[in-house]
Amino acid sequence: MSEFSRRQFLASGIHCAAAGYAGSLLHGCNSTLPVPPVAPVDANARVAAVLGTNLRAMTRDALDAFGGAGAIVGEGESVFIKPNFGAFGMVKYNPVTAGDCTKPEIVITVAEECLKAGASKVIIGDAGQSNRYDWNEIYTLDGSTTMSTEAARLDAAYPGKIALACLNADSPDWLPIPSPYTKLGEVYISSLVALADKVISLPVLKSHRWTHITGAMKNFVGVTSTQRYGYGIQWRFRLHDAGIEQCFLDIIKAVQPNFAILDCSICCEGNGPHVCPGYWGETADMRDRLGQWLLLSGPDFAAVDATAARVITHDVSTITHLQMAYNQGIGQIQENRIELAGASLAELRVDWKPAEITEGFLEVLWPGLHLLTGCRQG
């Protein structure tokens, strides 16, 4: 019998736990949902700030600040890399240059560094608003190459060890993880994520109409199936209805991802998470405000996201999922408990248009959906 990896063992336990939670909810469907226990984080965290204009070199520096990819990935371990590619296949504009999506330079560099460190397999995947991605159309920010071309280059150097996956179509299975503090009881995530030995989050920084900001933690909404939660349209209605913050925090608790690099180069401010001026968000290029691009990295996802919130002058105390993450023991958000290496907050803070926070989901989505899918950028 083959030896289970750590995450395979974890996934087996997740499945059983989720079944137990689901059963208890079915028997008490009219009862009040349990409240998560309050167990604030009492550990310090460290976040690295990397400034520059070369995203590939910056990405290597963001890894090196914590010992490089070899300190994250062990010889023979599998890696799942989760970028934010959610807008591809939905919008008419280029979501990389607009600020909707993670820059492919960052994604490919992390994948290559993991392969150099001895990873047995690196899967780059997301389940955005499309059933399929055309990887040949996902260009790097500089327009010089594509995800497909770069994956082929890595496959030539490391045969059979790199894969691209649009999870909505390519996930072999969907495994339940417990979500006892939402009315769903469990949330199904891709088996490619659940069974990976190491998981790395590569989001892009955006302000967000429903969660104030989206970063390393909310990025994991994109490991769930739109078919299961989308009601025939590629938006996850059921997760929003159940409490989107708790849903993605439950995924974080179950998956226990290992490292994050937050892309703060070309981002989205205002009414994100998508760019369509006049109703949705607007492109924000950090070079216009800092003179350089910025990456934030670290193993504590809450600390990375809280630092990003402070960089864009958001009040962390008003961001629900950051407070929830801290109080549920997921990560550190207290400024005096987070060591910021590479720059000070005073050096990094920029003006930023916040989102107009809306409690309802459909009330905002329906009026703006046709605008978003038809919006074109110059």
Calculate what percentage of the chain has a pLDDT beyond 70: 84
What is the distance between the alpha carbons of residues 76 and 95, in angstroms, rounded to a whole number? 34
pLDDT value of position 305: 98
pLDDT value of position 29: 45
Asked if the model's pLDDT at residue 27 lies above 50, the reply is no
Task: Show the tokens assigned to 146.
Answer: 């594509």
- Spell out a b/e string for 121-140, using b for 16 or more CB atoms within 10 Å of the CB, else e: bbbbbbbbbbeebebeebbb
Calculate what percentage of the chain has a pLDDT beyond 90: 72
Lowest mean pLDDT: which of 127-131, 277-281, 344-348? Answer: 277-281
pLDDT value of position 18: 45
CB atoms within 10 A of CB 290: 17
What is the distance between the alpha carbons of residues 168 and 177, in angstroms, rounded to a whole number? 18
Of residues 131 and 286, more confidently modeled? 286
Q: What is the dihedral of CA 300, 305, 306, 309, to 10 degrees?
A: 160
What is the distance between the alpha carbons of residues 223 and 226, in angstroms, rounded to a whole number? 9
- Spell out a b/e string for 324-359, using b for 16 or more CB atoms within 10 Å of the CB, else e: bbbebbbbbbeeebbebebbeeeebeeebebbebee
| Average pLDDT, integer, range 229-239 | 74
Tens digit of pLDDT for each residue in 48-93?
Answer: 999 999 999 999 999 999 999 999 999 999 999 999 998 788 788 8
Secondary structure of residue 131 in the 3-state scheme: coil
Secondary structure of residue 209 in the 3-state scheme: coil
Domain boundaries, given as residue ranges, for the chain: 42-374
What string of DSSP letters covers 314-357? --GGG-HHHHHHHHTTS----GGGEEEESS-HHHH----PPP--
Tens digit of pLDDT for each residue in 86-123?
Answer: 878 878 889 999 999 999 999 999 999 999 999 999 99
pLDDT value of position 332: 98
Of residues 8 and 346, more confidently modeled? 346
CB atoms within 10 A of CB 366: 9
pTM of the model: 0.90
Q: What is the dihedral of CA 101, 104, 107, 110, to 10 degrees?
A: -150
